[in-house]
Chains A and B, each alone.
Chain A
Amino acid sequence: MRTVVIQPVFEAWRESARELLALRVPPSEVLWADDAQEPALFGPSNETLPRVAVPNVPSAFLDMARSVAAHTDARRWSVLYRVLWRLTHGDERHLLAISTDPDMRQVQQWCKAIGRDIHKMHAFVRFRLVGNDAITGREQFVAWFEPEYRIVRLAAGFFEKRFAGMDWSILTPHECVHWDGSAIHFTLGVSRSAAPDDDALDDLWRTYYRSIFNPARLKVRAMQAEMPKKYWKNLPEASLITELIAESGGRVEKMLTTDLRPAKPAPKNAYLDSLRKMNALDSPSLPPTQEP
């Protein structure tokens, strides 16, 4: 039995896994452990590592492994290595097609959790305007976000594509990402106090949120399933939720007890006249309605 201590990033696992595989060390003889030290920032993937001859594995597996690496479950390295072993030395080339296999199922569930976390980061980051660049004049924005897993690198590309025309930073406790119009770079995590608390537009956004809500269709559980409370503290609109729910009953009651409004006659308008003429022409030739 050997213990392999790695920094908790995909590249480190891949490097070790590649060596173990070349030495034909079966999964049952390896214990994986995270390096207790906070990792130094890993650069973009290490193509400079010495190449050890290993069989090809489906690229879908590498994508999954990259995703799973961002998870925090301590078992992830050993499960990944076991899947890798089964794919290569275990004569189970088809393992990825078998979602019912316990290892595959576990890997897929971790991937799903990571995918969801990335998706929520794309959705719930809120940028705050902090100024304009003195030289380029570009607007500069900063956001604070607290992802559940270490997904900043996996999530960053989306922001680059979407917000190429402005400068921005997203700060998180683990790692921060910055864009200046030409390149993405990463720095160590910071604390919440490094980020601005609000933005001049937040009030207008809350006005929108309040107005688009329909009090006659209250479905609080459906909202919370998709926007769990843990995100609320960083969403400017979330401060309205309690009051909107509380008011909704009274608002509906008022609708139901209002006097019904009679129809008003049509105003004089040439366009309405032309519609009426068209309707008169159309109706005789209308297809019979649906009942067969």
Chain B
Amino acid sequence: MELQQKLEILADAAKYDASCASSGAARKDSRGGKGVGSTGGAGICHSYAPDGRCISLLKVLLTNACLYDCHYCINRRSSNVQRARFTPDEVVQLTLDFYKRNYIEGLFLSSGIIRSADYTMELVIDVARKLREEHHFRGYIHLKTIPEASPSLIELAGRYADRISINIELPTQEGLTKLAPEKNLARTQDAMGHIRNKIDERHADKRKPDAPKPPPFATGQSTQMIVGADDSTDAVILRRADVLYGDYHLRRVYYSGFSPIPEPSLLLPIKAPPLVREHRLYQADWLLRFYGFRVDEITTDASPNLDLHLDPKLAWALRNRAVFPADVNKASRESLLRVPGLGVRNVNRILSARRYTRLRLADLLRLRVPMKKVMPFIIAADHNPARLGLDDEALRARFLPPPRQTELDFDASMAVPSDIDSARTGQM
């Protein structure tokens, strides 16, 4: 089979994995070396497809042949999709050729499972080893690993990769048993625990200079959950994510709204969830990680699913109006982070500026704060929302989107905690 045809099949097979991050790697670059590659910066999206997704890595499967039968997946053994298989050298060459043209900033390699978990892992690792050792490649490598692979192979993968991941796929064992019968939640979490320990070891080493240096290991792990393939509520999904962040220190949980695939399975609902559900889950995820929210604040027993019409912070604020208004000149950081429309960066700016000046609405306007959204919830030097006493429904109605809304743009770069200004001084 021609290389081009293989690429067509094996990129198509990989596109349902939402992960695209290429940030958070240890700093390294190609100066003084024999090859190309650098990592450690913010992560670059080298292109965007018309699905709005960033293209930063060459994301392919080594092979799309697979022993498993995950019903949401086009590569499952029950699918009649055409199969292909790259040789490790083909992937190595493609990665280098694409990288040198600045199409991509690294490789994201995954694979269908053939013969056994270990056999498959060895093939995947071989690509990474060749890139690193034979071609001195210092760009980003993300390897997908298999929970049942031997711990020693996972360690080897982590040695070459900047990031490794295992997809949890669905938040409950019931869901897996039904839709991905070969997969097992407990074993997946065990493997994540093993990876977490390896990552921690590497970091602990940095604090103790005299300790023997453990081999290098990836700086982070991530995972993906498919949304809408089973009947898990958002509460169940977010609680699973919370466990993964808390107990296993994942860098990112990706949520991938199930979308129709060629080769659909009899076992799956044909109707895809609205894309906005995935978007709301990402917003909720951000609230968990950067805004100090707990899952049981974002979803409730009465409404275990997120409101599709309102962002989850606004929805929370409308349910908890008694804690507002917050005074931008006095309120704590924690309280300001809970104000709808205020992001981490603007909260930092407010906290910094108010040490020297009393903030007025014009100041917030200058920060491009969405005033209509923020005003009912804050006090400023020249503003007190006397009429917050609008009844629930009227206030909610103010925020509902206009009836026709076709697309939702999700800004993946929002709310990255900004650096504190450096205190060093320089000579003019």
Chain A interface residues (CB < 8 Å from chain B)? 14, 17-18, 21, 54-62, 84, 94, 96-102, 105, 119, 122-129, 139, 141, 143, 158, 160-166, 199, 201, 203-205, 207-223, 225-227, 235, 237, 241, 244-245, 248, 252, 254-256, 258, 260-264, 266-267, 269-272, 275, 278-279, 282-283, 285-287, 289-291
Which one of A102, A124, A203, A221 contacts B4 once the chains associate, using CB atoms below 8 Å?
A: A203
Q: Check A226 against B186 for contact (C-beta < 8 Å).
A: no
Which one of A123, A245, A261, A271 contacts B45 once the chains associate, using CB atoms below 8 Å?
A: A123
Q: Check B363 against A289 for contact (C-beta < 8 Å).
A: no
- Give the residues in chain A near B428, CB-CB below 8 Å: 14, 17-18, 21, 54-57, 62, 84
Q: Check B15 against A213 for contact (C-beta < 8 Å).
A: yes
Q: Check B71 against A263 for contact (C-beta < 8 Å).
A: yes
Which of B36-44, B154-162, B383-391 is near enough to bind chain A?
Answer: B36-44
Q: Check B171 against A290 for contact (C-beta < 8 Å).
A: yes
Which one of B35, B184, B422 contacts A59 once the chains associate, using CB atoms below 8 Å?
A: B422
Smallest CB gap from A285: residue in B: B186
Cα of A215 to Cα of B15 in the assembled complex, Å: 11
**B94 interfacial by beta-carbon distance below 8 Å:** yes
Cα of A97 to Cα of B353 in the assembled complex, Å: 6
Q: Check B264 against A165 for contact (C-beta < 8 Å).
A: no
Which one of B139, B267, B426 contacts A57 once the chains associate, using CB atoms below 8 Å?
A: B426
Sorted from nearest, which 6 A-B pairs have the closest CB atoms? A222-B52, A219-B52, A59-B426, A100-B363, A271-B116, A211-B11
Which of B54-62, B335-343, B396-404 is near enough to bind chain A?
Answer: B54-62
- Give the residues in chain B near A262, CB-CB below 8 Å: 78, 266
Smallest CB gap from B364: residue in A: A100
> Count of chain B residues with Cβ under 8 Å from any Cβ of A?
107
**B16 interfacial by beta-carbon distance below 8 Å:** yes
Which one of B48, B148, B235, B264 contacts A226 once the chains associate, using CB atoms below 8 Å?
A: B48
- Give the residues in chain A near B32, CB-CB below 8 Å: 164
Cα of A101 to Cα of B136 in the assembled complex, Å: 48
Chain B proximity of A108: nearest CB distance (Å): 9
Which of B207-215, B218-226, B255-263, B284-292 is near enough to bind chain A?
Answer: B255-263
**B283 interfacial by beta-carbon distance below 8 Å:** no
5 intermolecular pairs with C-beta atoms under 8 Å apart: A59-B422, A163-B100, A214-B15, A219-B409, A222-B409
Smallest CB gap from B116: residue in A: A271
Smallest CB gap from A220: residue in B: B50
Which one of A57, A166, A207, A213 contacts B50 once the chains associate, using CB atoms below 8 Å?
A: A213
Q: B residues 252-310 with Cβ under 8 Å of A?
A: 257, 259-267, 270, 272, 275
Q: Check B69 against A264 for contact (C-beta < 8 Å).
A: yes
Q: Check A124 against B46 for contact (C-beta < 8 Å).
A: yes
Interface SS of chain A: helix, strand, loop or mixed? helix
Q: Check A204 against B4 for contact (C-beta < 8 Å).
A: yes
Q: How many A-B residue pairs have CB under 8 A?
A: 291
Q: Check B12 against A99 for contact (C-beta < 8 Å).
A: no
Task: State whether A162 and B29 are in contact (beta carbons under 8 Å apart), knowing that A126-B102, A248-B50, A261-B80 are contacts in the complex.
Answer: yes
Q: Check B14 against A279 for contact (C-beta < 8 Å).
A: no
Which one of A14, A57, A226, A241 contacts B425 once the chains associate, using CB atoms below 8 Å?
A: A57
Chain B proximity of A271: nearest CB distance (Å): 4
Most B CB within 10 A of own CB, among A84, A226, A260: A226
Q: Check A225 against B409 for contact (C-beta < 8 Å).
A: yes
Cα of A108 to Cα of B186 in the assembled complex, Å: 48
Additional pairs, 18, CB under 8 Å, beyond known A21-B428, A289-B236, A290-B235: A58-B421, A96-B421, A98-B352, A165-B35, A201-B103, A211-B9, A217-B52, A222-B407, A237-B47, A248-B50, A261-B263, A263-B266, A267-B77, A269-B67, A271-B117, A272-B67, A279-B182, A287-B186
**B101 interfacial by beta-carbon distance below 8 Å:** yes
Q: B residues 356-384 with Cβ under 8 Å of A?
A: 356-357, 359, 363-364, 366-367
Task: State whether A217 and B55 are in contact (beta carbons under 8 Å apart), knowing that A62-B426, A100-B363, A211-B12 are contacts in the complex.
Answer: no
**B199 interfacial by beta-carbon distance below 8 Å:** no
**B33 interfacial by beta-carbon distance below 8 Å:** yes
Cα of A199 to Cα of B97 in the assembled complex, Å: 11
Q: B residues 414-428 with Cβ under 8 Å of A?
A: 421-428
**B91 interfacial by beta-carbon distance below 8 Å:** no
**B203 interfacial by beta-carbon distance below 8 Å:** no
**B355 interfacial by beta-carbon distance below 8 Å:** yes
Q: Check A56 against B67 for contact (C-beta < 8 Å).
A: no
Most B CB within 10 A of own CB, among A244, A270, A271: A271
- Give the residues in chain B near A248, CB-CB below 8 Å: 50
**B49 interfacial by beta-carbon distance below 8 Å:** yes
Q: Check A282 against B31 for contact (C-beta < 8 Å).
A: no
Cα of A123 to Cα of B427 in the assembled complex, Å: 33
- Give the residues in chain B near A255, CB-CB below 8 Å: 260-262, 264
Task: State whether A100 and B115 are in contact (beta carbons under 8 Å apart), knowing that A21-B428, A207-B4, A219-B409 are contacts in the complex.
Answer: no
Q: Check A100 against B51 for contact (C-beta < 8 Å).
A: no
Which one of B47, B136, B427 contacts A235 once the chains associate, using CB atoms below 8 Å?
A: B47
Q: Check A282 against B37 for contact (C-beta < 8 Å).
A: no
Cα of A284 to Cα of B33 in the assembled complex, Å: 53
- Give the residues in chain A near B266, CB-CB below 8 Å: 260-263
Chain A proximity of B322: nearest CB distance (Å): 25
Q: Check B102 against A161 for contact (C-beta < 8 Å).
A: no
